[in-house]
Amino acid sequence: MLISLFLFWAMPAVGDKVDDEVMINLAWDSGCFNCHDVHKTLRGPAWLDVAERYRGDDTAFERLVVKVREGGSGNWGTVSMSPNRRVPMEDIHTLVAWLLTLEE
């Protein structure tokens, strides 16, 4: 958990386009865009919608890391999220932390 908190607080500012580009590339490399988009709902919810739903929820980071890693359903309708066990935990932590900072 300490690593998760460190990664969350160590994240660079999202307003910096270079950092956004790095995160987008990591998301592509991790296969996230097979089901998600930043702005629109595909098979899974838009990341801006996820960020809005969980903004201010202090427990969201850990719950979303588990959801991304293990998969599941029920939070965004009937479509289930596939597990992502091939994606390194460090990358999942980094991406979830970044996703939670997104704003329109």
Residue list for the binding site for heme c:
32, 36, 81
The binding site comprises 32, 36, 81
**CA atoms lying within 13 Å on the CB side of residue 67:** 18
Q: Output the six-digit token pair for 33.
A: 């865009």
Which residues sit opposite 81 in a β-bridge? Answer: 72
**CA atoms lying within 13 Å on the CB side of residue 18:** 1
CA distance 92 to 33: 14
